[in-house]
Amino acid sequence: MIQRMEVGDLDRIVDLERLCFSSPWSKDDFLYELNENPFGYYVVLKVENRILAYLGLWMDEERAQITTIGVDPAHRGKGYAKALMEHMLEVCSSRGVKMYSLEVRVSNRSAISLYKRFGFIQVGIRKAYYQDNHEDAYLMIKESEENECVSVQ
């Protein structure tokens, strides 16, 4: 079951952040996203009432930027990230989003493969983007299907 993230979820989310990321977000970061950021949209994926995965984005009328996606390491490879991406695309498409973007560490093969599977393409590189180890990021984007150019011969 996928549902909106709530403040009561944050202790579990912060635990998952630590398992998923070398520079995890804090509880305060998520509190800001849930309570104050008008562009924030955060969801959790629950199985038997336990949060196993989550996804966040910033969204306005036309654009969405994926800010985070994480899956409990004990439950990877089960399609949970795919389910969250499908949910995110459905919600964004229903709200008229035309362009999606994200940054991903150049070494993060599983995430890059996930994003490519959903039609994201690499369009740029942000040098030394990550503060912890100065790793580069790929900038990846995806246009909504309605927004793609159709070439007519």
Ligand X SMILES: CC(C)(COP(=O)(O)OP(=O)(O)OC[C@H]1O[C@@H](n2cnc3c(N)ncnc32)[C@H](O)[C@@H]1OP(=O)(O)O)[C@@H](O)C(=O)NCCC(=O)NCCS
**Active-site residue list:** 103, 115
- The DSSP annotation for 76-141 comes to TTSSHHHHHHHHHHHHHHHTT--EEEEEEETT-HHHHHHHHHTT-EEEEEETT--TTT---EEEEE
Segment contacting ligand X by CB under 6 A, of 7-15, 26-34, 80-88, 121-129 = 80-88
The only residue of 37, 65, 93, 108 in contact with ligand X, by rule CB under 6 A: 108
Nearer to ligand X, 110 or 147 (CB): 110
Q: What contacts 146, CB < 8 A, 6 or more positions away?
A: 98
Can residue 50 be called a binding residue for ligand X (CB under 6 A)? Answer: no
60 DSSP β-pair partners: none
H or E segment at 30? helix 27-35
The only residue of 18, 27, 50, 117 in contact with ligand X, by rule CB under 6 A: 117
CB of residue 9 to ligand X, shortest distance in Å: 16
Can residue 87 be called a binding residue for ligand X (CB under 6 A)? Answer: no
List residues binding ligand X (CB under 6 A): 20-21, 69-71, 76-82, 104, 108-111, 113-114, 117
